[in-house]
Amino acid sequence: MALRQGKRHLVREHQIVISLKAEQFQEVQKLARAAGSQSVGAFVREHLLSFLGIEQADLPESKASGEKFSAGSQNP
């Protein structure tokens, strides 16, 4: 769990780990690229929050949003 300095207080970040088969990851990666997402992690995070009805704007920016695709990336 990482601690980041928020505007007024420290913000705790939590992680959810999802195991995917290679074919599943490749499909999610294709969807993320087609959507213009910067990373698979950012794409999955955005869609998970949307599915749960949680507004992305209400949450602190994640380090995942800065990640870029790489050909051998296995980090969802």
DSSP state of 62: P
Query: For residue range 25-41, what is the model confidence (pLDDT) as tens digits?
Result: 999 999 999 999 999 99
pTM of the model: 0.59
User: What integer pLDDT is reported at residue 34 of this predicted model?
Assistant: 98
Q: In 1-76, which ranges are continuous DSSP H helix?
A: 22-34, 40-52
Angle in degrees, CA 52, 54, 58, rounded to 5: 165
